[in-house]
Structure 1
Amino acid sequence: MLRWPNVPMSHSRTARTSLMFVAVALACLAVSDIAITTSNPWKDLLQFFLGVVTPDFFSSEGLATALLRTVAFAFVGVTIGALSGFLLALVYRIRIVRTFCAFIRAIHELFWALIFLQFFGFHPLTGVLAIAIPYAGIFAKVYSEILDQVDPEPRNLLPVRTGVFSAFIYARIPDCWEQIRTYTSYRLECGLRSSAILGFVGLPTLGFYLESSFSQGFYSEAGAVLILFYVLIATIPLWVRPKLLPLYVIASPFFLGDGMPIIWGNVKRFFTEDIVPAPLRTGYGSEEFWPWITDLVVNQALPGIWNTLVLTQIALVATGLVTLLAFPLISRHFGNRVSRTGGHVLLVIARSTPEYILAYILLQLWGPSMLPAVVALALHNGGIIGHLIGRQTNGIRLRPDAPKGVLRYGYELIPRVYPSFLAFLFYRWEIIMRETAILGILGIYTLGFYVDSAIQNIQFDKAIILILITAMLNIGIDSLSRRIRSRLALQTMPTC
């Protein structure tokens, strides 16, 4: 096989893979719905920014309560998810456990919320389980990878008769405790974002007030909600202290609010009747089932899968472009202290804003198309990866005669951080897919659009099948991502 001289095979393979993904994204872009359909988008955008700089914090009486409930749902959901995920991590090597965890984390929190709403209603249990269940699968995967990387040497130094439990507590946990603590803290920030967007399905969190304000054109109220959310995320290091965590965990359930009593008959009916395919439920049998499932697959599942994949691939490459443009903003090898501070602020805003909220705002300003979803996904994920890569470059020492400007960027830093950049990008591929599917609830024709339409039409049997298809699609992307990372010899679980 011919290849350029003096170019390592791994570098050549990495370059070919990158070009292939760019080519696929360009092909997807050619068949995508990218457009601005509002009559005066710049006027609407200006009104929105004016609302942000002139926030009205006192227009909604329940805003403070929504803030407390956003925090409460996050703490309770993340705590249950972390404890469950840790127990699952201990047996994660069992295939059925790995499959179960992959399945529950492949379904987005909003999909879980839509499912639980059908029989729990607007009960706090709906929001708690919507966060806890997928997070348990995520925690199980990450905790197991952290535990597998523990140095076995401390175990060999323990007395011969040391039990398995004691060895685990004294030899494995101390060695990886800092990684577990750091990742759990990061997941708490993700939990706050998840808790906020649960308001878009009617739960009393910040997302509920954001949607209400935007739908009525009250941009100052919407700006107040966004600013409260940014302050909440940015001040996490100040108010989330290890000594206060037990107090937060104990107090959070009391701030979840009250809901209508759970009618367990509805729960039973949902699982025994509502999600059973209509032809089987009505007694028509297989003669009506196959036309029913064929119509569902041809008219809903396949278009949803196609649009989800197209949007995902465009957003993945767009995320990479945003990352490559964003990381110099906080790198010590570029700019000065003032410019880097501004860069940090921009990246904090980008990565703190949930994709769903950002896509919702852009849809209101630009109209329905794939463009708001692509921009939202690229800014959020690019902000996250750009922050991590920027921090990584701060640990790189350059020689005194290293070039400056564009040459420093292209010849000194990019070659050193590109493997980590790709590792992060492919690791978030599955996450981008999950978010792409759920953005369909906003009116984009991904799988989430058809799920939401089925639920609105009280066709829970179709909704469940489409959700299962979404989960299988995410599992497939996750498996493909791991294969590519392994083939390119990239870190399986990138850390910073």
Structure 2
Amino acid sequence: MPTSPTVRTSLLFVAIAAVCLLFADIAITTANPWRDLGRFFMGVATPDFFSTDNLYVAILRTVAFAFTGVAIGSASGFLLALVYRFRTVRTFCAFIRAIHELFWALIFLQFFGFHPLTGVLAIAIPYAGIFAKVYSEILDEADPEPRNLLPPGTSNVASFLYARIPDCWGQIRTYTAYRIECGLRSSAILGFVGLPTIGFYLEAAFSQGHYSEAGALLILFYVLIATMPLWLRPKLLPLYVGGAPFFLGEGLPIVWGNVERFFTEDIVPAPIRNNEGMAELGSWFGDLMMNQALPGIWNTLVLTQIALVATGLLALLAFPLISTHFGGPVRRTAGHVFLVIARSTPEYILAYILLQLWGPSMLPAAVALALHNGGIIGHLIGRQSSDIRLRPDASTGVNRYAFELVPRIYRSFLAFLFYRWEIIMRETAILGILGIATLGFYIDSAIQNINFDRAMVLILITALLNLGIDAMSRLIRRQLKLQTMPTC
């Protein structure tokens, strides 16, 4: 069985989530959710791939934004990884990756408008912080022996290129390919703020009740993700990266005066901008904290903890679907299809769909977060469980699950779960844009009311909250000696 500290930690988090449920807004508010759910599934079952050319334009733009943003983020992250040992660099990278891509997009929209640069930078900036951290860890774990074999007097640059990079190249390439899949998901949800990716057309199809068109968009996106091993070949990457910027589309010209005004006026707190003194600044900040920041933080934390435990429960229930120790090929194939759909659909899109079907509450957000993250962790531990060699006299059925496999994969499961804790927090905050009263709700409201100063303070609070959760997650993993470093 799992060691006592892991059991106590698990039970503590379950208890916290149970308390959070008492304060959560969990409800279905639509008049006939089953009818709406049936219409949605009918649309998926009868997709209309020829309703408009926008379907294929949306996929092309989604791919273009993903490749361009990930390429810039990867290159920038690699350069940052070379100096990641400096505390200032580590802090900078932690900060930029703590802010969700949609928040970056909302910021850039204010001065770049609906220009392709908005979407590219919204992906590239947080990804640079992520790449810097992971590339740095990969380089630090490189085998030192090849460097010892180089001739005396070899320069640091030559040593790096000929001794460290070849040893790490496989890991770097694998992780970068994974981030391209993540970039496709990030690119898709940028459409919900008006950029011409799949999210834009998906929202339009849902709002007009065109479920067959929405179903076609989702199916095309799943096929795009599922077939990545076929078309994402290393030899073709230069072609993809070089061609992607030409398919981003055109936007309105950038007015550089708007950029200057944003930094010199718009984000400056109103009392300072109007020379109203420190007393007014204190009152302004107090009102922001009491009426927006604190309610947003509370709801974000409540929803995060519920979604975290729900993710864990779903992952533990889902991993047998693809494990070779349960069922036959047909069942495992169905399980793979389910987990591919769950982990490939961005939480934002899942939450948007469920909100249309169930109405505004925390329930659609919690289910969306659990499905996506549970699908990812279930896939990872399902593959891991398949590599476990059972004893010849091992039990079968429920006993095999409960007494043979779960105890042996439980520590890895917790490592994956706590690793995604901060990611779930980021997604919880951003789901506020859909109307759930997390921090994203108040940030979006402030931007809609042209209170950019308030929005920037709330975004900063969101980043600090994510940094706090990330630090707590690392502390718990270290205390429990959970050494697994997931690349998800």
TM-score interval for Structure 1 and Structure 2 normalised by the shorter chain: over 0.9
Q: 1:348 and 2:313 equivalent?
A: no
Measure how far apart 1:394 and its partner are: 1.1
- Aligned-residue Cα RMSD (Å) equals 1.0
- Cα distance in 1 for partners of 2:240, 2:35 equals 43
Match of 2:387, SS?
coil
Q: Residue deviations 1:290-313, cap 9 Å, x none?
A: 111100000000000000000000
State which of 92, 104, 121 in structure 2 corresponds to 1:100.
92
Unaligned runs of 5+ in 1: 1-6
1:393 equivalent in structure 2: 385
Give the superposition deviation at 1:495: 5.1
> Greater CA deviation, 367-376 or 53-62?
53-62
Amino acid at match of 2:421: W
* Aligned residue number for residue 141 of structure 1: 133
CA contact (8 A) 1:131 1:195 kept: yes
- Residues 451 and 463, structure 1, Cα contact 8 Å, conserved in 2: yes
> Deviations 1:10-41 (Å, cap 9, x if unpaired)?
81111111111111011101111111111110
Aligned partner of 1:413 in structure 2 is: 405
Displacement of 1:454: 0.2
User: Among 236, 239, 243, which residue is 2:231 paired with?
Assistant: 239
**Are positions 1:448 and 2:440 aligned together?**
yes
Deviates more, 1:56-65 or 1:337-346: 56-65
SS in 1 for 2:135: helix
- Identical pairs, percent: 79
The answer (yes or no) to whether the contact 1:104–1:137 under 8 Å persists in 2 is: yes
TM-score (norm 1): 0.97
Matching residue of 1:336 = 328
Could you tell me which residue of structure 1 aligns to residue 352 of structure 2?
360
Number of paired residues? 488
Q: Does 1:467 align with 2:425?
A: no
Distance in 2 (CA, whole Å) between partners of 1:487 and 1:160 is: 42
Distance in 1 of aligned mates of 2:21 and 2:158: 56
| Structure 2 SS opposite 1:191 | helix
Q: Measure the CA separation in 1 of the matches of 2:479 and 2:486.
A: 15
Name 2:279's counterpart in structure 1. 287
Distance in 1 between the 2:358 and 2:477 partners? 36
Aligned to 1:324: 316
Match of 2:293 in 1: 301
Aligned to 2:41: 49
Map 1:199-214 → 2, pairs under 5 A: 199-214=191-206
* CA contact 2:416–2:484 (8 Å) conserved in 1: no
Distance 1:35 1:294 in 2: 32
- Structure 1 residues 377-431: Cα deviation after superposition (integer angstroms, max 9, x where no partner): 0000000011010110111100111000111111111111111000000000000
Partners of 1:235 and 1:207 in 2: CA distance = 20
Which segment drifts farther, 143-152 or 108-117? Answer: 143-152
Could you tell me which amino acid in structure 2 is paired with residue 323 of structure 1? A
Distance 2:486 2:298 in 1: 29
The one-letter amino acid of 2:214's match is: A
Deviation at 1:287, TM superposition (A): 2.1
SS of residue paired to 1:243: helix
Does residue 23 (structure 1) correspond to residue 9 (structure 2)? The answer is no
Asked if structure 2 preserves the Cα contact closer than 8 Å seen for 1:485 and 1:492, the reply is: no
- TM-score with structure 2 length normalisation? 0.99
The residue number in structure 2 matching 1:378 is 370
User: How far off its partner does 1:242 sit?
Assistant: 0.9
Structure 2 CA distance, aligned partners of 1:374 and 1:259?
35
1:225 maps to amino acid: L
Which whole-Å deviations, capped at 9, do the CAs of 1:39-73 have from their partners, x for residues lacking one?
A: 11011000000000111122223222121111000
Match of 1:170 among 150, 162, 166: 162
Q: Which amino acid aligns with 1:444?
A: I
**1:457 lines up with 2:449 in the alignment:** yes
Q: Is the 8 A contact 2:30 2:358 kept in 1?
A: yes
Deviations 1:171-217 (A, max 9, x none): 11111211111111110000000001000000001100000010111
- Following superposition, the deviation at residue 494 of structure 1 comes to 2.8
Q: Name which of structure 1's ranges 352-361 and 484-493 shifts more when overlaid on structure 2.
A: 484-493
The amino acid of 1:449's aligned partner reads F
Question: Contact 2:412 / 2:484 at 8 angstroms: preserved in 1?
Answer: no
1:269 to 261, 265, 268: 261
1:4 aligned residue: none
Answering whether residue 114 of structure 2 is matched by residue 122 of structure 1, we say yes
Deviation of 1:162 after TM superposition, in Å, equals 1.4
> Is residue 217 from structure 1 mapped to residue 212 from structure 2 by the alignment?
no
- Could you tell me which of 54, 70, 76 is aligned with 1:84? 76
Q: 1:150 — aligned with what? A: 142
